[in-house]
Amino acid sequence: MKENVEKNRRRLVVKFGGSSLGDHERILRAVTAVAEEAKKGTQIAVIVSAMGKTTDTLFHAAKNSSNGKLHKTDLDEILAMGERTSIRIIAAALKAQGVDSRYVDPHDAEWPIITDNSFSDANPILDVCYERAIQNVLPLVEKGIIPVIAGFVGKTKDNRVTTLGRGGSDTTAFILAKALDVDELILVTDAEGIMSADPKVIAAPERLQEIDVNSLVGLADSGTKFIHRKALRYKDDSVKVRVIKHSHGNLNAEGTLITGSLSADLDVELEYPSSGMSITVVGIGVSENPDVIKQLAETVKKHAKLLGLSLNYDSLILYASENSDSKVLLEEVHNVILSHVETLAMSVRKQLAFLKIKGVGLEKTPGLTGRISEALRVNCINIFGLITITSSILLFVDWEEKEKALKLVKEALNGD
């Protein structure tokens, strides 16, 4: 019977961003939401950021008072004080609402987030983090005690405080959510969820009900960092994530569900199972007439799969799958070209293989594109197209050389 009760018990990790703790009213709203949920019997672990702009204030004070010569180890100790202050305030406020709570500080024996020595941008040692969270944090949660844990902060194996860099509090939340096997991770922010555009840029963006993490990392690549790309590396496929706005004061508020996970390692694969072709269209001011682009893309899609598209002012390249309709497709593309003054002529290259390189380490590996290109060049394999987008690289090579190309690219990714 006890096993069934435990199985049916709801378990959450709730992370509050700095904006959701920006003043005493927001802190009270956050604490009340947690307390009300805990009183329903929900098991909760809380991750907190520094309040408001505390981290920025600490950073500028430390930098300006040391003429920019502050050592990273000292800077991390200073920056961590924002979160270390937050956990004490939140834990005390939860107790004041009649909820059993305790803060977990990096200098406590129960501290779960262990990192390497890359101060100011430390990387969690995942197997150690998971083990310590299960050993030290899970028992508190199961007893109905709410641990309040500093986000953004870690410590090395020799007990020196580190910080996790951009998106560090989300990183902490993703790691603990997986380790604690939660029903849901709730990220409390200053937005209604993940929006269709940055509210600072677009007047009335809409809330997305759901988004896959691979689409979300594409937004991070473009500079709209709803959640930072580094943090998304730690989002596990098994963890349900919901982003909500702090002003609701309710952990069950509607928001945006984030699904899926990113590929863990750099890898290359054949993205499309059959051969493709490139159709190069040249002209003058091609990019200035969206109707041209639309008609060409729609023509391809009538007869084949559009595998990719690259565009500049005077030309564009369409990458399409090959099939029995390819001849008809090319004739229709040619007709579109003749019907517009901006487009002059076309050329076609057939029998191409479409390779996709992806993985969460792509953006952290300088010179990777050059390394791949060089590996193919020295082995006399031409690249007939290269597109980089949303943490992936798309390559087009000769179909007959696809297996050799796959092998060479894999070796380049592994540094061989």
* 290-340 pLDDT per residue, tens: 999 999 999 999 999 999 898 999 999 999 999 999 999 999 999 999 999
Question: 344 and 290, same structural domain?
Answer: yes
Q: What is the CATH number of the domain that holds 361?
A: 3.30.2130.10
Highest mean pLDDT among 262-266, 321-325, 408-412: 321-325
Q: Are 148 and 94 in contact (CB under 8 A)?
A: yes
User: Could you tell me the pTM of the whole model?
Assistant: 0.79
Point out the domain boundary residue: 209, 225, 259. Answer: 259
* 171-194 pLDDT per residue, tens: 999 999 999 999 999 999 988 899
Model pLDDT, residue 224: 54
* 241-253 pLDDT per residue, tens: 999 999 999 999 9
Residue 143 has pLDDT above 50, yes or no: yes
Model pLDDT, residue 225: 55
Question: 209 and 98, same structural domain?
Answer: yes
Question: 250 and 339, same structural domain?
Answer: no
Strand partners, 225: none
Question: 272 and 247, same structural domain?
Answer: no
Question: 276 and 251, same structural domain?
Answer: no
The per-residue pLDDT of the chain, averaged, comes to 90
Query: In terms of pLDDT, which residue wins out, 215 or 290?
Result: 290
Q: What is the CATH number of the domain that holds 242?
A: 3.40.1160.10
Question: 283 and 387, same structural domain?
Answer: yes
Residue 362 has pLDDT above 80, yes or no: no
Which band of pLDDT confidence, cut at 50, 70 and 90, is reported for residue 391?
Answer: low
Highest mean pLDDT among 129-138, 207-216, 375-384: 129-138
Q: 382 CB contacts (<8 Å, ≥6 apart)?
A: 376, 397, 398
Angle between helices 24-38 and 72-96 (to 10 degrees): 60
* 221-236 pLDDT per residue, tens: 554 557 887 888 899 9
Which band of pLDDT confidence, cut at 50, 70 and 90, is reported for residue 5?
Answer: very low
Question: 306 and 361, same structural domain?
Answer: yes
| Mean pLDDT, residues 283-292 taken together | 91
| Mean pLDDT, residues 393-412 taken together | 91
Q: For the chain, how long is the longest CA-to-CA vector?
A: 77
Question: 221 and 127, same structural domain?
Answer: yes
Residue 219 has pLDDT above 90, yes or no: no
Model pLDDT, residue 230: 82
Q: Are 154 and 115 in contact (CB under 8 A)?
A: yes
Where helices occur in 9-51 by DSSP H, the ranges are 24-38
Question: 281 and 195, same structural domain?
Answer: no
Question: 404 and 318, same structural domain?
Answer: yes
Point out the domain boundary residue: 207, 242, 259. Answer: 259
Quote the domain boundaries for residue 318. 267-413
Point out the domain boundary residue: 259, 275, 298. Answer: 259
Question: 22 and 167, same structural domain?
Answer: yes
Q: Which two structure tokens, joined as six digits, stand for 196?
A: 């269709």
Question: 333 and 242, same structural domain?
Answer: no
CA distances from 80 to 50, 56, 133, 229 (A): 8, 12, 20, 21
Tally of domains in the chain: 2
